Amino acid sequence: MERREADDSYRHVLKYTSIFGGVQGLKMLVTLLRNKLTSYLLGKAGMGINAIFLNISEIINSWTNFGIPFYAVRRLSELYEEGSDDDLRRFVGVIRTWSVWSALLGGMLCFVFASWLNTHYFPSGENHTLEILFLSIFVASIPIEAVECSILKGMRRLRTVAYIEILCALSTFVFTIPIYYFLGFRGIILSIILCGWAMALIHLYFSTRIYRYSISLFSIDVIREGWPLIRIGIPYVLAGAVTAMATGEVLSYLNDAEQVGLYKAGFGLLLICSSVVMMALDTDYFPRLSSVNHDMQRLNHAVNQQVDVGVLLMAPILILFVLTMPLLIRILLTAEFLPIAPMVYCAVFYAFLHIIIVPIGYTSAARGDLWLYFIVEVVYDIAFVLAVRYGYSQMGLIGAGIALSVVALFDLILVGCVFGLYYKISLRRQTVGIILLQGTLLFMTVAACLWLVPAWRLPLGAVLFALSLMFSWHRLSPEIPVLARIRNMFLRSKD
C-alpha cells in the first residue's frame, strides 16, 4: 500500500522529473561541450555523415531487437510489484540470452548489407561501405545496452540509471573529441564503436550487481520461454522499424551531407532541450504506468499528473530557449550553424506538444496493446515523412521546422482521439488550461522572435518568460518543500 501511495503521489512525479532534470542538466553540459567541439572539428558535413551512420544503426536495431527492451520494462515492473525474486531472476536470464542473439543478428545484417546501405544513404556517389562494415560492431552493442538498462528501469533503480546517464555522457566525450581531433572524418566510425561499447559495459557493470550475468544461448527451454516475448513484441519491432525508416527517408531526401548536418543539429537542439522531461518519462513514468495498467482510473490519473508536471517544467525552458537561440547556436555549435535558428523557432512546438503526446501514447504500450500502438505510429510516421518532405521542398529548413510542429499537432489530435475512445483517457479541465496558457505564451515568444526587431523582441520576451515562470512556480511550489517554504515566506511578508 505504501508503494502504491508513493507512486501515485503528485510529488513523486515531480520528484523524479526533478532528479532526472538535474541529471540531464549535468549531462547536457557535457553533451553541449562535445557538440561544440564536434561541430568545430567536423563541420556541417561531418555531423551529417555521423547522423546518417547513427540512423543506419537505428534502423537495423529496430528490426532485430524483437521489442525485448521495451516489453522487458513492462514485465519486470509487474514482477517487481508482485515481489517474486525467483521469477525476476529467471526472466532476466531469458532477456539477456535473447539480447545476445539480437546483437549477433543485427551485426550480421549490417555487415551483409553494407554495400546496399552505402548506395541508398549516399546516392551522391560517396563510398562509405568500409565504415558501414565496421558499424556492425556498434550495432551489436545496442541490444546489450538496451536490455541491461531495461533491467535497471524495471527494478526501479532510478537513481542508478541517473548516475549511469552521467557516466555515459562523460565516456562519449572522452572517446569522441580526441579521436575527432587526431583523425577527423576518419575517426567517426571508431568513436561510434567505442562510445557504444563503453555505454554497454557501464550498464552491464551496474545491472550485474543486481543479478549476476548468466545466459543460455543454446538452451531450448530458455529460447522457448523467450519466444512469447518475440510474438508480443512484433508490433513494437515493426513500429520502431517504420519510425527509423521514416527518419532515414527524410535524411535521404535532403540528399546533401551539409543539409543533413543542419537539420540534425536543429533537431538535436530541440531534443536536448526537451530531454529534461523525456528522460523521466522513459525511466520513471513508463514503469509506473505499467504497474497500474489494469486500473483505468489510476492510469488516467497518472497521465494527467505527468502532463501537468511536464508542461509546467518545460514551457519556461522552451521560452528561454527560443529567446536565446542565436546566442546558444554560437555557444553550443558555431556561427556556421546560424541558418538553423528560424527552423528551430518554427519547430519548437514539436518539443512542447510531445510533452503531452508521449504520456498519453504510452498507455497502449503499458497495457500491452502493441498492435494499436503500431497502427498509431505508422499513421504518424507517414504524416511525418509527407509533411517534412513537402515543407522542405517549399521553404527549405524553415519549411521543415514548420512541418515538424504541424505533424506534432496532428499526432496530438490522433493520439487524443484514439486513446480517448479506446481507453477513455481524457485530460482534466485543469490540465487543458495549463496547456493552453503555456502554449499561448510560447507562441507569442516565437512570433516575437520571427517578426519583431531585437529592440522590441527582448523586452516582450522577458515579460512572457516571467509570466510563464511565475505561473509554473505558483502551480509547482506547493509540491516542493523548499519552494513551498520560500513561497510562504513571501506570502507572510506581504501580510
Task: Name the residue ranges covered by the structural domains of the chain.
Answer: 2-491
Average pLDDT score, the chain: 82
9 or 371: whose pLDDT is higher? 371
Contact 397, 343 (CB under 8 A): yes
> What average pLDDT does range 385-414 have in this prediction?
94
Q: Which residues, other chains included, contact 77 with Cβ-Cβ below 8 Å and sequence gap of 6+?
A: 154, 156, 287, 288, 290, 291
Indicate the SS3 state at residue 1.
coil
Q: Which residues, other chains included, contact 456 with Cβ-Cβ below 8 Å and sequence gap of 6+?
A: 448
Q: Is the pLDDT of residue 454 over 70?
A: yes
> What average pLDDT does range 393-403 have in this prediction?
93
**What pLDDT score does 7 carry?**
43
Q: What is the Cα 418 distance to its own chain's centre?
A: 22
Report the chain's terminal Cα–Cα distance, integer Å: 41
Read off the pLDDT of residues 98-153 as tens digits, 9 standing for 90 and up. Answer: 999 999 999 999 999 999 998 888 866 678 999 999 999 999 999 999 999 999 98
| Rounded Cα gap, residues 478 and 486, in angstroms | 10
C-alpha radius of gyration, the chain, whole number: 23
**Burial class of residue 77, CB neighbours in 10 A (0-12, 13-18, 19+):** buried
Q: Smallest Cα–Cα separation from 25: which of 312, 357, 279? A: 279
Read off the pLDDT of residues 380-396 as tens digits, 9 standing for 90 and up. Answer: 999 999 999 999 999 99
> What average pLDDT does range 419-432 have in this prediction?
88
**What pLDDT score does 481 carry?**
47
Q: Which residue has the cell 544513404?
A: 121
**What pLDDT score does 201 carry?**
96
Report residue 84: phi and psi, to 5°: -95, 100
